[in-house]
Amino acid sequence: MTATTDIDMVEYKRRQKLRSIAIGVGLAALVVMFYVATIVRLGPNALRKDGPAKPAATSPAKSNAAQPAADAECKKAGTC
Amino acid sequence: MADISAISDNGRDAALGGAVGDYFALLKPRVMSLVIFTALTGMVAAPGALHPALALIALIAIAVGAGASGALNMWWDADIDAVMERTKTRPVPGGRVGSDEALVFGLVLSCLSVLTLGATVNWVAGGLLAMTIAFYVVVYSMWLKRRTPQNIVIGGAAGAFPPMIGWAAVTGSISLDSVILFLIIFMWTPPHFWALALFRAKDYEAAGVPMLPVVAGARETRRQIVIYSALLAPLGLAPVATGLGGWVYGAVALALGGMFLALAVKLWRAGDGPRSDKAAKGLFGFSILYLFALFAVLLAEHVVRHILG
């Protein structure tokens, strides 16, 4: 192997190393972007271990709808 | 590993593999900067809001997508680029990056940019980015560029999509205002590139690219430049009519549109010879300033509107 090809081999390795670093940085940036996007899109739910927040068990509308039946029941039982 | 000792000096660069800077050059960074700027304007001008982190991701994805289409263009046009003075030192014709490497590089970045934009922001924007890349590579580079002098008229649509993509990233839709931004760049592209082609006609002729000055002559090209400039000047005012642009934008668009048209007429009257080249270079330089200023004022107006609520 001549001196020229030795230099070429050094240059080849240097460029290969730099390309590998660039690819690594690019992939890391991609991972960070997806991570950030996930956190931003899910908001506080991203940190909950028991899944997304559930809506309240009974809505006011539902309570109002159930009220006449409850009234009738307590009148029947004489507990009103 | 390639056997470097067995190759000639001509192939040395290719066997060494391109430097990182050569791959960056494949992305056409100057075109990419204009794409980022117009996409940002589309995003800021769009009604609604996008989380700053998502907006940054969208801009990066749009920029990488534009760069990827540039790399694919350089892969396809390497034979033409090698002949033309302006492009013969690009990484592929210069032998610093292999043709296959440019192709793979462009394809990988195209897929990643579209998937990133679609998955993290929305699929309307992702779809538009995919369409832009396909339009630039397939419709413009592969189909029109070597076949018709109208190449830049139709192919110019690819460069006009970025503000529409930025707009779609925020709103998830396409609207009249985003179409107007598209049309401004679409109408700006022919006089911009024909002015360049006028003083680079020999280059295009040597490469066999049927640009208008090569096929129809300088006189017809100058006439077409005046026609497109006359259409562009009032179109630049359209954002005022829809409320997208304010009075500052209107004043700038009116002044710069008038100047654009005046330079086009000056070029038309210059006739052939050295005066024509000078006028063409003047119009080419001004056309860059025109587009930059129009979008900069629009961007500034909307930033002020956001700040003032």
Q: Higher model confidence: residue B262 or residue B6?
A: B262
Mean pLDDT, rounded, for B12-41? 90
Give percent of chain B with pLDDT exceeding 90: 84
8 Å CB contact of B2 and A12: yes
Residue B274 CB: number of other CB atoms within 10 A?
A: 8
- Encode pLDDT of B185-216 as tens digits: 999 999 999 999 999 888 899 988 999 999 99
CA distance B79 to chain A (A): 26
Complex ipTM: 0.84
Residues of A in contact with B16 (CB under 8 A): 8, 11-12, 15
The whole-number pLDDT of residue A69 equals 61
The whole-number pLDDT of residue A68 equals 61
What's the gap between Cα B48 and its chain centre? Answer: 26
CA distance A29 to B218: 48
Give percent of chain B with pLDDT exceeding 70: 95
Residues of A in contact with B60 (CB under 8 A): 33
Residues of A in contact with B17 (CB under 8 A): 12, 15-16, 19
8 Å CB contact of B116 and A33: yes
CA distance B21 to A34: 26
The whole-number pLDDT of residue B306 equals 87
B10 in Cβ contact with B95 (< 8 Å): yes
Size of interface A-B (CB pairs under 8 A): 53
Closest CA to A15 of B13, B32, B80: B13
CA distances from B50 to B87, B92, B96, B172, B175 (A): 38, 38, 40, 11, 17
To which residue do tokens 């809505």 refer? A59
The whole-number pLDDT of residue A75 equals 60
- Token pair recorded at residue A5: 């090809």
Sign of CA dihedral B46, B49, B52, B56: negative
| DSSP 8-class letter at B1 | -
- Encode pLDDT of A8-64 as tens digits: 888 889 999 999 999 999 999 999 999 999 999 887 776 676 766 666 555 554 445
8 Å CB contact of A12 and B53: no
Is residue B153 predicted with pLDDT exceeding 70? yes
Which residue in B4, B20, B23 is closest to A9 by CB distance? B4
| Closest Cα in chain B to A34 | B120
Which residue in A1, A12, A18 is closest to B20 by CB distance? A18
**B119 at interface of A, judged by CB pairs closer than 8 A:** yes
The whole-number pLDDT of residue A51 equals 66
Is residue B17 predicted with pLDDT exceeding 90? no
B169 in Cβ contact with B121 (< 8 Å): yes
